[in-house]
């Protein structure tokens, strides 16, 4: 794999006049850009987010990570959906400005992926050609349901779900059912023995680094196929 450049800080303007921080990481000749949103409990600089961005750059895919306003302010309570959707919209617009005609995919980890899909379902992301979820949070832990997936029927672009098989926020049979109902638009990659954070126990014979390779290889292959169509 090629060497990875350093992430460049960016400032993303929001419609209300405020701004949030972002990080752009791009290889010399990217095939696409992934607008990558963080999960509810950790921001864009979390070790998983950093490793994902670095690994995708090595695979020829640029990323734009960004903070939701509550995380930018050091808060713990996620933003209301409308504010989150507006932030996703602003981040996608920033990626579009920076990468021009390059294919754009969007999504991210858990909460960030779900807010992105809601924004897409509302028609706020016309530049986005596909969605990639790194652990879609289908329901609260211990409360299996598909209510949080209802809006996905309004998404008209291809979707990739990367899901751990022991993810407590996405019962495996239920997420399989959701993806199946979405038909040809949706693809699922199941990561054996991985939880919502893509962590695996040593007794499984795998480690987190190996899991991350599988996750990123799967994302890169899917994005490359999508970009080639």
Please report whether residue 2 resides in a domain: no
Domain count, the chain: 1
Residue 217 within any structural domain of the chain: yes
For residue 1, tell me if it sits in a domain.
no
Cα 132 to chain centroid, rounded: 5
Cβ atoms of 4 and 57 closer than 8 Å: yes
Domain that holds residue 29: 8-228
DSSP line for 157-180: S-EEEEEETT-TTS-HHHHHHHHH
Q: Which of the four pLDDT bands, split at 50, 70 and 90, describes residue 124?
A: very high
Mean per-residue pLDDT over the chain, rounded: 95
Residues 65 and 165: their CA atoms lie apart, in Å, by 26
Is 30 part of a structural domain of the chain?
yes
The answer to whether residue 95 sits within a structural domain is yes
Query: Is 0.75 topped by the overall pTM?
Result: yes
CA 61 – CA 51 distance, rounded (Å) = 13
The verdict on residue 3 lying in a domain is no
Residue 188 pLDDT greater than 80, yes or no:
yes
Residue 37 lies in a domain: yes
* C-alpha pair distances (Å), 220 with each of 57, 121, 224: 10, 24, 6
Q: Give pLDDT tens digits for 10-56.
A: 999 999 999 999 999 999 999 999 999 999 999 999 999 999 999 99
Q: Residue 43: name the closest of 96, 112, 116 by CA.
A: 112
Residue 74 to residue 71: CA distance in whole angstroms = 5
What's the CATH number where 149 sits?
A: 3.40.50.1820
Domain membership flag for residue 173? yes
pLDDT of 2 > 60? The answer is: no
CB proximity list for 199: less than 8 A, separation 6 or greater: 208, 211
pLDDT digits (tens, 9 = 90+) for 131-167: 999 999 999 998 999 999 999 999 999 999 999 999 9
The stretch 58-69 carries a mean pLDDT of 97
Per-residue confidence (pLDDT) for residue 4, from 0 to 100 = 63
Q: Which residue has the tokens 């209301």?
A: 80
């Amino acid at each position: 794999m090629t060497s990875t450049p350093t992430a460049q800080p960016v400032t993303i303007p929001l419609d209300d006049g405020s701004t949030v921080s972002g990080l752009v990481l791009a290889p010399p000749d990217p095939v696409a850009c992934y607008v990558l949103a963080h999960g509810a409990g950790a921001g864009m600089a979390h070790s998983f987010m950093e490793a994902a961005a670095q690994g995708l750059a090595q695979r020829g895919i640029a990323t734009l990570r960004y903070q939701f306003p509550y995380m930018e302010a050091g808060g713990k309570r996620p933003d209301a959906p409308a504010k989150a959707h507006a932030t996703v919209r602003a981040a996608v617009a920033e990626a579009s400005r920076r990468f021009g005609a390059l294919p754009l995919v969007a999504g991210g980890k858990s909460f960030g992926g779900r807010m992105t899909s809601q924004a897409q379902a509302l028609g706020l992301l016309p530049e986005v050609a596909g969605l990639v979820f790194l652990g879609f949070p289908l329901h609260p832990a211990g409360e299996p349901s598909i209510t949080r997936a209802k809006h996905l029927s309004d998404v008209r672009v291809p979707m990739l779900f990367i899901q751990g098989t022991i993810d407590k926020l996405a019962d495996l049979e239920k997420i399989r059912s959701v993806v199946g109902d979405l038909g040809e638009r949706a693809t699922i990659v199941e990561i054996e023995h991985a939880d919502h954070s893509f962590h695996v126990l040593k007794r499984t014979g795998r480690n987190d680094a190996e899991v991350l390779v599988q996750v990123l290889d799967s994302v890169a292959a899917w994005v490359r196929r999508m970009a080639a169509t």
